[in-house]
Amino acid sequence: MDSFVDNEPLEGTVVKGKVIAIENDLAIIDVGLKTEGRIALKEFGQAGRDGTIKVGSDVEVYVDRVENAVGEAVLSREKARREESWVRLEEMHNKNERVEGVIFNQVKGGFTVDLEGAIAFLPRSQVDIRPIRDIGPLMNVPQPFQILKMDKRRGNIVVSRRAILEESRAEQRSEIVQQLEEGQIVDGVVKNITDYGAFVDLGGIDGLLHVTDIAWRRVNHPSEVLSIGETIKVQIVRINHESHRISLGMKQLQADPWEGIAAKYPLGARFTGRVTNITDYGAFVELEPGIEGLIHVSEMSWTKKNVHPGKIVSTSQEVEVMVLEVDPEKRRISLGLKQTLQNPWEAFAEKHPVGSTIEGEVKNKTEFGLFIGLEGDVDGMVHLSDLDWQRPGEQALEDYNRGDMVHAKVLDVDVEKERISLGIKQVGNDPYEEAGDTLKKGAVVTGTVTDVNDGGIEVKLADSEVTAFIRRADLSRDRNDQRPERFAKGDKVDARVTQYDRKTHRISLSIKALEIAEEKEAVAQYGSSDSGASLGDILGAALKSKSEEN
């Protein structure tokens, strides 16, 4: 045995010693100190129990203290084993190697594991891949572990059994994946069902059967078709060899209903289908199992433009639709609901041609006219200019309120633009048309003064409802007589029509123009340039002649 006299061991280290005696299950160990130490034989484990440890045996022990109160060295075989284990375990941890251990006790949050002398902690979450209720069969059984963390200062070691299982399972998965091919048809067992699909066990590896790959028709939830534990036949759609993810399909085992779809559903044809789903932008209609088309919200109603589709149709409702578009590549069919019903503007035009009179309720009043509710849930508009023959539209608009029932004449129906133009003033006779030739340019008319203001006078023509305005400058040829205050309401005046626009019904009258015309006529009839008669004499003669005629 080596002598330790010249090289005195330090406390807290592992040294070699020799058994010099065995007394009462205690081994007396000489480690070269002034005094010997004692270690219970049970600390040597099986070697102490079967007599392997005997006088003369060389052993490694841990020096806890050089000398205690009674003058003996305090030695420990258990601590020596632990020190040896730490060194070995650190090497294995650095090499990422597995270690052998035994689960021997349960503590808060997990279990304790004996790693051949070193005690490690096994968290409950690291026992198995899935939570297990009974850990009894795993206790006191030598098995491999993976070291996750080591802290020698604190004496902490954390191990995992789960990491070993996952690594083993990954190896198995890799082997199974190598045997599978895309397009292959296999049997599997439904293990789990989620909102987006089902996980199917293919014999050691799971594949995902997405809800859209269960059937060609719409499946709202996988549980409608599948149940846990059920054995199903699936096709391998896609394999990711790096992540070992497998995508499965059931509908791929059935004939694709979209083959030849364009010939089966020609444009403009009508079909009956069932509403399967309603969204903000429209409703899906199942035409046959696996074939759905979309009625966009804009194709649902002729008149309800800003209404949610759910207020027009309901789920499971049978509806007649028209095929508007078919896209086999994108697997889309556009359907129309309103196209199966008669266009209400066409129906209105057939029943109420231009020129006919209708009755309706004032639905809305705007700055540019009235909207009238008509049969077929359509509206017609009366423009300001079509409210009254005489008064400005803004003034006539004040006579109407929402809810009023009015009669109007149909002026125009534009089916394409979905517009109906109505006129209220056209229901009555056009006073300007009745006035006829009396309003042509140059005609002389008689009117009654109805209003006098600084700008001129307003007159109502005799035997009609037509009114016109005579400007101040047209009240007389003589500038001194161009004063509106010369006239009073009720006065009769004669004037000449200087302008008349049949389209806008604008009339311009002038007393001044009439006086000038009469003067020319008088000169031509009663005087000449060489007669020597004055202008006053000529006009006097003309007026006398006119009064005699009257």
Superfamily of domain 14-82: Nucleic acid-binding proteins (2.40.50.140)
| Local structure of residue 426 (DSSP, 8 states) | G
Which pLDDT tens digit goes with each residue over 466-509? 788 888 888 888 888 888 898 998 888 888 888 877 666 678 88
Average pLDDT for 533-544? 54
Q: Which listed CATH number (1.10.760.10, 3.30.479.30, 2.40.50.140, 3.40.50.300) goes with 262-340?
A: 2.40.50.140
Contact 311, 276 (CB under 8 A): no
Which pLDDT tens digit goes with each residue over 295-331? 999 999 988 888 899 999 999 999 999 999 999 888 8
Question: Which amino acid type is present at position 411?
Answer: L
Query: Which pLDDT value is given to residue 445?
Result: 85
- Long-range contacts (CB closer than 8 Å, 24 or more residues apart) made by 523-529: none
Distance CA 512, CA 501 (A): 20
pLDDT class of 64 with cuts at 50, 70, 90: low
Per the model's pLDDT, the better-predicted residue between 196 and 19 turns out to be 196
- The reported pTM is 0.47
User: Strand 74-76 relative to strand 58-65: parallel, antiparallel, unpaired?
Assistant: antiparallel
Q: What is the largest CA-CA distance in the chain?
A: 182
Query: Which pLDDT value is given to residue 118?
Result: 75
Query: Which pLDDT value is given to residue 532?
Result: 47
Query: Which pLDDT value is given to residue 280?
Result: 92
- CA distances (Å), origin 239, targets 176, 183, 203, 246, 452: 12, 10, 16, 5, 96
Contact 459, 509 (CB under 8 A): yes
Which of 89-103, 183-197, 434-448, 500-514 has the highest average model confidence (pLDDT)? 183-197
Query: Which pLDDT value is given to residue 7?
Result: 46
Query: Which pLDDT value is given to residue 29?
Result: 75
Instruction: Reply yes or no on domain 180-253 having CATH 3.40.50.1820.
Output: no
Q: Which listed CATH number (3.10.580.10, 1.10.10.10, 1.10.240.10, 2.40.50.140) goes with 98-166?
A: 2.40.50.140
Torsion of Cα atoms, 75 then 150 then 113 then 92, to 10°: -90
Lowest-confidence pick of 145-149, 364-368, 521-525? 521-525
What element of type H or E holds 417? none
| Local structure of residue 158 (DSSP, 8 states) | E
What element of type H or E holds 277? strand 270-279
Distance CA 256, CA 276 (A): 20
Q: Is the pLDDT of residue 345 over 70?
A: yes
Contact 358, 410 (CB under 8 A): yes
Per the model's pLDDT, the better-predicted residue between 118 and 447 turns out to be 447
- CA distances (Å), origin 89, targets 100, 138, 152, 167: 10, 22, 11, 20
Q: Is 497 helix (H, G, I), strand (E, B) or coil?
A: strand
Quick one: CATH architecture of 432-526?
Beta Barrel (2.40)
Lowest-confidence pick of 32-36, 99-103, 435-439? 435-439
User: Among 244, 247, 240, which residue's Cα sits nearest to residue 169?
Assistant: 244
Give the rounded percent of residues in the chain with a pLDDT score beyond 90.
Answer: 24
Distance CA 535, CA 181 (A): 122
What element of type H or E holds 545? helix 535-549
CA angle 251, 254, 258 (to 5 degrees): 85
Per the model's pLDDT, the better-predicted residue between 388 and 360 turns out to be 360
Supply the mean pLDDT for the chain.
81
Q: Is 468 helix (H, G, I), strand (E, B) or coil?
A: strand
Neighbours of 446 (CB within 10 A): 13
Distance CA 313, CA 282 (A): 10
Contact 497, 445 (CB under 8 A): yes
Contact 381, 415 (CB under 8 A): no
Query: Which pLDDT value is given to residue 527?
Result: 57
Q: Is the pLDDT of residue 149 over 80?
A: yes
- DSSP E strand boundaries for 454-514: 456-461, 467-471, 492-501, 506-510
pLDDT class of 4 with cuts at 50, 70, 90: very low
Dig out the tokens for 469 from the structure. Answer: 């305005």
Dig out the tokens for 467 from the structure. Answer: 């009114």
Dig out the tokens for 187 from the structure. Answer: 């049997």
- CA distances (Å), origin 384, targets 263, 389, 399: 52, 11, 12
Which pLDDT tens digit goes with each residue over 155-198? 788 999 988 887 777 766 776 777 777 888 888 899 899 999 99
Per the model's pLDDT, the better-predicted residue between 395 and 68 turns out to be 395
Give the 3-state secondary structure percentages of the chain, helix then strand then coil, rounded to 5. 25, 40, 35
Count of alpha carbons within 13 angstroms of residue 122, beta-carbon side:
28
Domain ranges of the chain: 14-82, 98-166, 180-253, 262-340, 344-427, 432-526
Question: Which amino acid type is present at position 101?
Answer: G
Distance CA 97, CA 19 (A): 35
Which pLDDT tens digit goes with each residue over 216-265? 888 889 998 898 988 999 998 888 777 768 889 998 888 888 888 889 99
Superfamily of domain 344-427: Nucleic acid-binding proteins (2.40.50.140)
Phi-psi region of 393 (alpha: psi -120 to 50; beta: other; left: phi over 0): alpha
Distance CA 495, CA 550 (A): 17
Q: Is the pLDDT of residue 525 over 80?
A: no
Which pLDDT tens digit goes with each residue over 354-377? 989 999 999 999 988 999 999 888
With 0-12 / 13-18 / 19 or more C-beta atoms within 10 angstroms meaning exposed / middle / buried, residue 195 is: exposed
Query: Which pLDDT value is given to residue 362?
Result: 92
Residues in the chain: 550
Dig out the tokens for 484 from the structure. Answer: 């509106």
Lowest-confidence pick of 82-91, 178-187, 532-541? 532-541
Q: Is the pLDDT of residue 271 over 90?
A: yes
Query: Which pLDDT value is given to residue 293?
Result: 94
Dig out the tokens for 378 from the structure. Answer: 């359509």
Query: Which pLDDT value is given to residue 3?
Result: 39
Neighbours of 320 (CB within 10 A): 14
| Residues forming beta bridges with residue 21, ordered by sequence position | 28
